[in-house]
Structure 1
């Protein structure tokens, strides 16, 4: 089974990350920021094709958008032109949901269900992202054992 999701996808420290959120929430910007790290790479923007392969959920870009990213106010750009490494696909290890507001002391989010697989999930609100804490929290989430 294959599904196409709206989001962005990158790799950090060898782990695949799917970023979801409303239009304009910063999915592409966060994926580029993570992919630009020394141990990062960009996979896909806007339409993420996900499929089950070998007991994992694998994400890849839609063929029409491979190697490209939309940067608000700049248009659709080549990821390679930005000096960011690109990968053709990745096994997903974490789902990050971008929201406007979350409780001050929230309960841990439940896992994300993708194609029948339960993947660890992190919820990041606008305040956390604006403070620049998203990369640190994502790295910490990747260290936790998978549910």
Structure 2
């Protein structure tokens, strides 16, 4: 168990208790993906900055208090949003890498001594809906 939390430049949402960390370079679309997923039923954990803590059972995602309940919508401004204080990390999506395979291999992302599923960006309008369903039901092995 790690005593020091990680503070990452990332966004995070949750569906049915399963947290998704959205990482990528500045301008990669982290907030946009989070907003799209929120429109499909996900709840915001954090936008732009996410705190990761090892609680001895896994990684917990949370938001810095100063930005709780806020998400940036480019061209509109900072929006207030329903949010949850924390959720267990279920998976990571990396917007800096594009998925090329129709049925991709299962990848893992090591973080704070744990390993969680890693997904790459899919350039398709159904990508946010696919992620929401992935958080609801997982993926067949």
TM-score normalised according to structure 2 size: 0.83
Q: Could you tell me which of 86, 111, 118 is aligned with 2:83?
A: 86
Of the two structures, which has the highest relative contact order with CA contacts closer than 8 Å and spacing of 6 or more? Answer: 2
Unpaired runs of 5+ residues, structure 1, are 80-84
Gaps of 5+ in 2: none
The superposition leaves residues 44-77 of structure 1 with CA deviations (integer Å, 9 ceiling, x where unpaired) of 0011010011411001111221111111112222
C-alpha contact 1:12 1:35 (8 A) present in aligned 2? no
Write the distance in 2 (CA, Å) between the matches of 1:123 and 1:51. Answer: 23
Match of 1:2 in 2: 5
Do structure 1's residue 29 and structure 2's residue 23 form an aligned pair?
A: no
* Structure holding more helix per residue: 1
What root-mean-square deviation, in Å, do the aligned CA atoms of Structure 1 and Structure 2 show?
2.3
Counting only pairs closer than 5 Å after superposition, residues 1-147 of structure 1 correspond to structure 2 as: 1-38=4-41, 40-79=42-81, 85-99=82-96, 101-104=98-101, 107-125=104-122, 127-128=123-124, 131-140=125-134, 143-144=138-139
Query: Secondary structure in 2 aligned to 1:120?
Result: strand
For the 8 Å contact 1:10–1:17, the answer to whether it is kept is: yes
TM-score (norm 1): 0.80
Post-superposition Cα deviations, 1:97-146, rounded to whole Å, max 9, x if no partner, equal 11364435585252111111101111113x23xx2333214523651379
